[in-house]
Amino acid sequence: MAANKEDDRRKHLKAVADDLHLLARFHDRELDGDFLGGLRKEKITVFLSAGIESEAAVKAAEDFDAALAALPSALGETLLDSLAAEYANIYLCHNYRVAPTGSVWLTEENLERQEPMFAAREWYGKYGMKVPDWRLRPDDHIVHELQFVADLCAAGTKQSVEDAVAFLDQCMLVWVPDFAKTLAERAREAVYIASAALTAAYLEELRDLLEDITGIARPVAEAESNENTARLYDIDVDRPFVPGVSESW
């Protein structure tokens, strides 16, 4: 009986790993026609193998489906060019000043490739992993961090799952929710806003799941606000009203 329960836990964690790789794809490169066309065949919850239950994650999934449904039925060149430009605005040119890396959110100077990058690198090294080119995409980029948690969950050992908990607490949940929230205030394309919100909500639900598995409670949040983030992102960005709303190892 206990063996069956352990097998079920491992299968669920492997499904979680698949979900995290899918979420990483949203941040890894622009949304092309083939990828969007595949996603539009079903609701996003069908593609999330492990499933979601929290109110926030369910709402984020509904918003993602609504964003996809709002796109024209024909994914023409003009639309795809617009989505590619939006990806560049967010992830490459940083025109919205919403960095997809931990260092910018977590350091006083709000700079890239600072201590959070080296902390992530140390975690990767523990498992013999290394990013392809940290100059091109630093270790604390959301794509690398999602892939790392996916690998820890896929391994499914007591140590790897406990490390997934620590990595989420130390390296991801301390900035990804702010990334998603600020992106919603700045970006123009609803599908990118929704994919970031879904990522953040999924990680929050995953943390609760891993607490159930490991018994490791979340750390007590500090009362003080993040003045670094407030100072860096206190800019005015014109944006339209949005209703309803690569690289690997």
Domains of the chain plus CATH, in order, are 2-232 (1.10.3480.10)
Helix (H, G, I), strand (E, B) or coil at 101: strand
Looking at residue 43, the DSSP 8-state letter turns out to be: -
Would you write out the chain's pLDDT as a tens digit for each of its 249 residues?
577 889 999 999 999 999 999 999 999 999 999 999 999 999 999 999 999 999 999 999 999 999 999 999 999 999 999 999 999 999 999 999 999 999 999 999 999 999 999 999 999 999 999 999 999 999 999 999 999 999 999 999 999 999 999 999 999 999 999 999 999 999 999 999 999 999 999 999 999 999 999 999 999 875 444 444 443 444 333 433 322 324 455
Q: Which residues of 181-200 are buried (b: 16+ CB within 10 A; e: fewer)?
A: ebbbebbbbbbbbbbbbbbb
Angle at 67 between CA 64 and CA 68, to 5 degrees: 90
Looking at residue 28, the DSSP 8-state letter turns out to be: H
Tell me the pLDDT tens digit for each residue of 105-146. 999 999 999 999 999 999 999 999 999 999 999 999 999 999
By CB atoms closer than 10 A (0-12, 13-18, 19+), residue 144 is buried
Q: Which residues of 119-133 are buried (b: 16+ CB within 10 A; e: fewer)?
A: bbbebbeeeeeebee
Task: Report pTM.
Answer: 0.89
Question: Scanning the structure block, which residue is given the tokens 């992106």?
Answer: 183
Tell me the pLDDT tens digit for each residue of 15-34. 999 999 999 999 999 999 99
Q: How far is it, in rounded angstroms, from Cα 46 to Cα 43?
A: 6
Length of the chain (residues)? 249
Bridge partners, residue 141, by sequence: 101
C-alpha atoms less than 13 angstroms from C-alpha of 150 in its C-beta half-sphere = 22
